[in-house]
Every structure is written in structure tokens, then in C-alpha cells.
Structure 1
Amino acid sequence: MGGEVEHELNIYHRLNQGPKYHPGRAAVQTLINLFKVSGPDSEHHCLVHPLLWDSMKVFLARNPIHRLPEVMLAVVLQRLFLALDFTHSECHIIHTDINAGNIMFGIEDDDVFKEFEKDEKMDLSPRKKTNRRVVYVSRQLQVPKRLGPPVLCDFGSTVLRETEHDDDVQPDIYRSPEVILQVPWSYPILLIFGMLVAWHLFYGTDPEHHKYRSRAHLAAVIAVLGLPPLDFINRGKLNRNSSQKTVSTFQAGIQLPASTALEALETNLDGKEKELFMQLMRKMLQWRPEDRKTAGELLDDPWLREQLG
């Protein structure tokens, strides 16, 4: 068995050993079984999971307005916080690759699978035969009448909390300040993601509009939060390896965008609802990881409670 598969299986075993009573247990993907398929060159290990529909990324692409209504966003964030509280406080693991592509919706309507099977029988998916294998085009599932709760998936890049980490992790646009500045990181890197995925899902727009550069990413964060605290900068490898001890070390000549109040970025909400939503965002968007609220604390946020009734 390959090292990557063995690692992922160990993570699923760790998740399975978590307490049965924790509500976040239902918010993470589980493993049902494992089987092998022999190919022309090697064996492939296949993981069997409960049936899910599709990802948040696909849902947004198929949604005409390309964003989530407030209540649906609140459900996604609540489930994400539940999953993170379970994986952090009970399983002591860190999911380093959370993005809109691996937050998957459950299905409470089995008709989509019946239609999928019927359509395949009536109109076979396109396929291409090569000398050694057959390649099939995937068929898209229809949108079910009733979506199930979102589930956090894909634990192949997960790491254990037992050791200190400073690896370059996370998808580009979701990287936390610690990762960019090579500061040792832990659970709080994912709370920054909570804020970014909320904004990404709410607007359908990534924080970075052009080719990704970590320096430009850092400059954009500075424009909203101001300069990072010196004690935070000094924790990072980039500062220790540099003869220049200022924030400009990390800007590398990139001009800072004009300072922007966080509230000015929110244009769809107003009044009390906007005020509460911005309070939630500020609980996650902080330079120092220790200044961010934990996933468990965020579950008691007033905006979430108001949206979920």
C-alpha cells in the first residue's frame, strides 16, 4: 500500500476513534470500506465513502447568482466549525487543504441516483479505448430536490498536531498569514479560511483576481488589517533569514493597495445584519493566530444563531 493511501487511512481511523457524541462527527466524511483494482502497471487502492452530491465549487458554478443566500452560508459555516471543532479538539489533526472543492453536500433524495442510472442505460457516457484501458467521461448528477448538510472531505493532506509545522500548505487564495510568512502554524490557520470561504462563497469572488503571488496576497491583507505586529513578523523564517527587519521585506516592491475598511467590502448586507456579520468576520481575520476565536467559540456566534433561528 502506498504511503499516501496508508496516511489517509490512518486519518480516517483516527476520525472513527473520535467520540460518538460530538456533533461535528457527522460533519466530516467517513470511510466505509477499501478495495483494490488491478491496473496495467500497478494496483489502485479505492476508498468507499457514503454517497454525497457535489461540491460547493460546483454548486456555485451551477447557481445563476454564483453566491449563497445568507441562511445557506450560515449552514455551511456552522457545519465547517463543527467539523473543525471535532477534528481539532477531539482528533488532534489539521486539515491543510480546505477549499470550496472539498466541502460536499449530502443528499436526502435518492432519486438523483435512479435518474443517473436510467440516463446511463439510455445514453452511454462517451468513452475512449486505448491499448491498455478504457477512459470514461463522468456524468453529472442532477440537482436533488433536497440537499443534505455539507460535509468536510478529502483528508489526504491532513497532518497531526503532535509536531510543530511550518510547511507551505493550503490552496493559494486561502493561505493564512502564518503560512505566507513561514511562521510555525497550527489549528488557527483554518479559521482564516473560514473567513475567506465565507467571503468567497458569499460573493463568488476570490480575494486574488490575478495570478497568485504571496507578496501580493500579503499586501492585500495589510490594506485591510494594517501592518502585522512586529512580534508576529519575528516568528517567521522569512524575517529571520532577512537582513531587513521591516514589513517591506515581504512586500518586495509591490505597492500596497489603498487602505480599505473591512466593512466597506460588504455591499449585500446593511443595518444590524451587516454589523453582526462583520463581527463574525473579525473574529477570524486577525494577524496573530492566538487572537482568532476557536471553531468551538465561533459556533456560538450571534450572526449564526440569528440566521439559523
Structure 2
Amino acid sequence: MCVILAHSHRSPDISPMNVLSEMEDEDCLKDVEINGHDIPSLPIMDANGHPVYCSTELPLELSGVPILADFGQMLPAERCTSDTLELIEGRNLFDPIDHINNQYVLPLALAQYIGYLGPPPLEMIQKSPLFSTYFDKQGNWASEPPIPQTSLEEFVTTISPGEEKDQFLRFIRKLLTWDPEVRATTNEIYPDEWLMRSHEDMW
């Protein structure tokens, strides 16, 4: 069984919560439904008086090619999502957090973005009062912290160097852009060569 949920937003949010897989055997769902009727779950009341029902563990066997499902989670263009590569690498690409004070630090975020994506377009810097605080008139980074020496090529370690990794990096760069106007739309990203690879050709 596979359910696809797709909303017509401009760019997809690729994260573990938005990836579905097929089930080997759907009969287990019928068993759960039958057992639910025969032995109804008794709720436990939480501290606020709300009922909490026990969940049922399913003996699932997943197979098939993972399917990108939900395009409904959106973020403002000024922010980059931190979970784009989490599904592949199991870690965040960006970490612009002051962990001592548990605060988001914009200059740290911008420095990390530049490290992976290069500097934002000069026109974008000149139009943004916020950006002008951190860049000079030529579009050069003029703030702290320094730009980290990073790259997407080095960050992606779970895909071996070669054709697939090259395709994957091209795919990611279509989504990770400063300018939302040049970011690949949902319709543009569907036929991407990396997404079209057969299951046998991946990893």
C-alpha cells in the first residue's frame, strides 16, 4: 500500500517525515482493525485531562523505492531548511545555533549558508537592509564568524564518488538556492535524473 500526498507548492521539503515506502503485506492492517473492534484501547488521561490511546505495533515489512510524499511544509525564503540532507546523511547540513544559550544566530547561519552555497546574489544583498548589515557594497562577507571551509561534496559521505553522487549533488543544488525564483519547482524536480534512478542502481 502506498499513499501519496502532494500539494502544489513551489519547492519540496525533503525530510524523513515526508518519505513513504510500500508495505509487503497489507493484511496486517486488517488484523489491527479487527482487533481494535474486539479489544478497544482504553485511554490513559494525561496531566491535562486529555485521553491518550496506546498505539499498536505493526509487523511491517517495507520494500520498494521510497516515495517523496508531502510538499506542504514551507519556510520563508530567508531561511533554509536544516533537514534537506538529513534523510541521506542522518545529520543536519546547517547548525546555526548557540548551544550554550540555545539561540538561533543569524550571522552564523549566513556564514554556514555561504560555506555550502557560495555568496548570495549581489542584487539580493543590495535590496535587503538585513543583508547590508553583514555584507559590504561589493557583496563580500564583512561580519563574524568567518566562512567555514565546507562543501556539499565533503558533506555527502553515504553515496560513493561517481555518477550517482554527481547526480545527487546536482539535484540538491536545484533545491538549495539563495534566490527562490531560480529554485526548482515541484514539477521541475519530479523528472530529475537522480530521482529517476532505478532502485537497483542506488547505493
8 Å contact kept, 2:125–2:131: yes
Any residues of structure 2 matched to 1:33-44 within 5 Å, and which?
none
Q: What SS does the aligned partner of 1:277 have?
A: helix
* Structure 1 residue 263: Cα displacement: 1.3
**CA separation in 1, counterparts of 2:176 and 2:187?**
16
Which residue number in structure 2 is paired with residue 217 of structure 1?
Answer: 109
**CA separation in 2, counterparts of 1:243 and 1:136?**
51
The alpha-carbon distance between structure 1 residues 243 and 225, as it changes in their structure 2 partners (threshold 3 A), is closer
Of the candidates 172, 176, 179, which is equivalent to residue 78 of structure 2? Answer: 179
Any residues of structure 2 matched to 1:137-286 within 5 Å, and which?
137-142=53-58, 144-146=60-62, 149=67, 151-152=69-70, 170=75, 178-180=77-79, 197-209=83-95, 210=97, 211=99, 212-239=104-131, 245=137, 248=141, 251=143, 253-258=144-149, 260-268=150-158, 269-286=160-177
Matched, 1:27 2:1: no
Structure number with higher helix proportion:
1
Q: What SS does the aligned partner of 1:105 have?
A: strand
The alpha-carbon distance between structure 1 residues 237 and 113, as it changes in their structure 2 partners (threshold 3 A), is farther
Of the candidates 86, 103, 110, which is equivalent to residue 18 of structure 2? Answer: 103
- Which amino acid is the alignment partner of residue 69 of structure 2? V
**CA separation in 1, counterparts of 2:112 and 2:130?**
18
Query: What TM-score comes out, normalization by structure 2 length?
Result: 0.65
8 Å contact kept, 2:168–2:194: yes
Which residue number in structure 2 is paired with residue 114 of structure 1?
Answer: 31
The alpha-carbon distance between structure 1 residues 101 and 263, as it changes in their structure 2 partners (threshold 3 A), is closer
- Which amino acid is the alignment partner of residue 20 of structure 2? F
Q: What SS does the aligned partner of 1:223 have?
A: helix
CA deviation map 1:229-248 (0-9, x unaligned): 21122233424789965554
Matched, 1:128 2:45: yes
Q: Which has the higher contact order (CA 8 A, sep 6+)?
A: 2
- Which amino acid is the alignment partner of residue 171 of structure 2? L
**CA separation in 2, counterparts of 1:218 and 1:242?**
9
- Which amino acid is the alignment partner of residue 291 of structure 1? V
Query: What TM-score comes out, normalization by structure 1 length?
Result: 0.46
Query: Structure 1 residues 144-153 or 196-205, which shifts more?
Result: 144-153
CA RMSD in angstroms comes to 4.1
Which residue number in structure 2 is paired with residue 287 of structure 1?
Answer: 178
**CA separation in 2, counterparts of 1:237 and 1:283?**
26
Unaligned stretches of 5+ in structure 2? none
* Structure 1 residue 304: Cα displacement: 1.9
8 Å contact kept, 1:125–1:139: no
8 Å contact kept, 2:44–2:53: yes
**CA separation in 1, counterparts of 2:109 and 2:22?**
36
* Structure 1 residue 202: Cα displacement: 0.4
* Structure 1 residue 274: Cα displacement: 1.4
